[in-house]
């Protein structure tokens, strides 16, 4: 009896330690906050995660005043450790803190977000790094409402910026220095940095045009 040829092997899962936390979309971040924001004596909450990330007491006190301290913590981590704030590191810490319930609930969504992020990065690498002319007649669609990490996906809250940063990967070190100079000094500008502030899953050119023209 002839054997049936096997189908193509499924692609390997993404290396989550190579994916920055910015890859996690609004839905995953919101769900994570539902687990970690409530202060709990029996389970590790966001303050335990903050301590594991090396936050000092005063930093934790400042985060307590935020409406979503878990989301604020992730944002602060991304800003402080842009190369080390990875999805894999976050999951490792949640596992160490005993939050297997969070890992079990969010595993599928986290992997899907990471796949979308890596796919978008591959698309960027395969296309010339330029921003097309923006057509102001292009209508706004629902997919362009929740495109940054602090957008409301239903369009009720839109994040605004002072400038959009367009750069090549080889210039990343210079860009990081520029971000520190313009955001963390007396200038206090709010910059839109694609890899840090933009969620995956939508055409890179549509997002760039929306951000440059309207944000």
What is the distance between the alpha carbons of residues 206 and 208, in angstroms, rounded to a whole number?
6
What range defines the domain where residue 20 resides?
16-125
For position 212, what pLDDT does the model report? 75
Whether residue 20 is found in the same domain as residue 119: yes
Residues 171-214 pLDDT 10s: 777 888 888 888 877 777 888 877 777 776 656 667 777 777 77
Residue 45 resides in a domain: yes
Residues 71-99 pLDDT 10s: 999 988 988 876 788 999 999 999 999 99
For position 188, what pLDDT does the model report? 76
Written as one string, the DSSP assignment of 116-144 is HHHHHHHHHHTS-S-PPPP-TTSPP-GGG
State pTM to two decimals: 0.57
- In which band, very low, low, confident or very high, does the pLDDT at 153 lie, cut at 50, 70 and 90? low
Residue 8 resides in a domain: no
């Amino acid at each position: 009896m002839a054997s049936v040829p096997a189908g193509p092997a499924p692609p390997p899962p993404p290396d989550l330690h190579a994916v920055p936390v910015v890859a996690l979309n609004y839905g995953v971040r919101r769900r994570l906050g539902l687990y970690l924001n409530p202060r709990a004596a029996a389970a590790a909450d966001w303050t335990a995660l903050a301590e594991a990330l090396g936050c000092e007491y005063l930093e934790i006190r400042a985060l307590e005043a935020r409406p979503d301290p878990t989301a604020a913590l992730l944002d602060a981590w991304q800003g402080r450790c842009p190369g080390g704030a990875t999805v894999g590191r976050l999951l490792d810490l949640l596992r160490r803190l005993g939050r297997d319930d969070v890992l079990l609930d969010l595993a599928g969504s986290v992997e899907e977000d990471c796949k979308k992020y890596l796919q978008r990065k591959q698309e960027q690498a395969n296309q010339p790094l330029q921003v097309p002319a923006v057509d102001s007649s292009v209508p706004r669609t629902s997919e362009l409402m929740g495109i940054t990490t602090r957008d409301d996906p239903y369009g009720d809250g839109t994040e605004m910026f002072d400038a959009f940063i367009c750069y090549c990967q080889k210039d990343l070190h210079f860009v990081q220095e520029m971000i520190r100079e313009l955001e963390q000094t007396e200038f206090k500008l709010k910059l839109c940095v694609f890899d840090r502030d933009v969620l995956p899953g939508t055409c890179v050119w549509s997002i760039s045009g929306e951000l440059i023209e309207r944000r």
